[in-house]
A and B are shown apart, each in its own frame.
Chain A
Amino acid sequence: MTIASTIQQLCFLTLSAVVVLGALGVVLLPNIVYSAFLLGGVFLGMAGLYLLLNASFVAAAQILVYVGAVNVLILFAIMLVNKKENLAAIPGLLLRRLLSGGVCAGLFVLLLRVAFTTHWALPGPLPVGEEATIRIGEHLFSDYLLPFELASVLLLMAMIGAIVLARRDVYSSDVITGEPVDQGLIEKTRTPLLINPSGSAGAANAPSLLETTP
């Protein structure tokens, strides 16, 4: 980025504050809807930091994928599972939080020590700046071609896996004829499979829900 150094430092401080405070809000706020929106703010701040690091294409990808897809997916999941439930108290919860906070603070100190004591090979080569998108395209279609193609296979597998995992298992048959019917069109009442293993699970009570199908 060719902007003045003061503005650059100001942008860095602002974006870092947005990212860090947003992350703390994501972790600490009791209302999870606020957490999800703050997570979107964190993603936007990260995109700004990427812009400061001469990476406009990755910043655009970050906004499109994270803010546009992942955050919306998380919001949908929150809406689907948003039931008021009183969490049962755990003994020693505060002690557990303090202990894990100590461990995380120690990890942070360790990472800072590594970052500040390592002799980085600075200054490195001159950044390519606005040509970064061209370089990324060259990388993706020459020496990173196999991971690029594997990523597409991975996305396909994730899509199929998400559908298989999230769809409801319906095994119903027609009320009158007893033939199996089109399984995709039937809504089933939620059967808690694991809570009540002796009860009817899935197939037994499904025909009673079915409208008369010719």
Chain B
Amino acid sequence: MSADSQATAQAAAEAVTITLGSTIPLQAYLAVAALLFCTGVWGLINSRNAVRVLMSIELMLNAVNLNLMAFSDFLDGQLIRGQVFAIFVITVAAAEAAVGLAILLSLYRNRETVDMERFNLLRW
């Protein structure tokens, strides 16, 4: 009796999970990630402060992560390989931020500015 009701409750919970999993479409997450990525690209091109360029790169990496997580949840629900990839992306992003800011500090010490337009030593 009690086991039977427990089984039905579990089945109901699974049905609720199934229906709840598709309330927000995959395309909505992809659209948010696309908007975030394009904002990051625009900031990367147009920022004159070098710190803001690094922030734009972080925005783009976050957009990629959101795509990975959305695909992992909607298309690869059992083997969540997208989440593992997102963890690796987070790791690489942390390393990139550390090295990027160290390069920025070194540049600032040499050129006394963070203006991207004046970092033109290699320009021909």
A contact set with B: CB distance below 8 Å: 1-5, 8-9, 12, 16, 19-20, 23-24, 26-27, 32, 35-36, 39, 42-43, 46, 49-50, 52-55, 57-58, 61-62, 65-66, 69-70, 73-74, 76-78, 80-81, 83, 85, 87-88, 90, 96-97, 100-101, 104-105, 107-108, 111-112, 115-116, 120-129, 132, 135-136, 139-140, 144, 147, 151, 154-155, 157-159, 161-163, 165-166, 168, 190, 192-195
> Distance (Å) between the CB of B32 and the closest chain A CB?
5
Q: Are A65 and B59 in contact (CB under 8 A)?
A: no
- B interface: dominant SS: helix
> By the criterion of a CB under 8 Å from any partner CB, how many residues of chain B are at the interface?
87
Q: Can you list 21 A-B contacts with CB-CB less than 8 angstroms, sorted by A residue number?
A: A5-B23, A26-B56, A62-B90, A66-B93, A74-B58, A76-B101, A81-B105, A87-B115, A100-B45, A112-B30, A116-B27, A120-B26, A124-B74, A127-B80, A139-B81, A139-B84, A147-B88, A155-B94, A159-B98, A165-B105, A166-B102
Would A81 and B20 be within 8 Å (CB), given that A115-B30, A194-B110 are in contact? no
CB A17 to nearest CB in B, in angstroms, measures 10
CA distance A32 to B59 in the complex (A): 15
Which interface residue of B16, B50, B102 has the most chain A CB atoms within 10 A?
B102
B51 touches A27 (CB 8 A): no
Instruction: Please state if A19 and B36 are interface contacts (CB–CB under 8 Å).
Output: yes
Residues of B within 8 A of A147 (CB): 88
Q: Evaluate whether A57 and B83 lie within 8 angstroms (CB atoms) in the complex, with A27-B56, A120-B26, A124-B75 already known.
A: yes
* Contact pattern, B 11-41, Cβ under 8 Å of A = 1, otherwise 0: 0011011111111101111111011111111
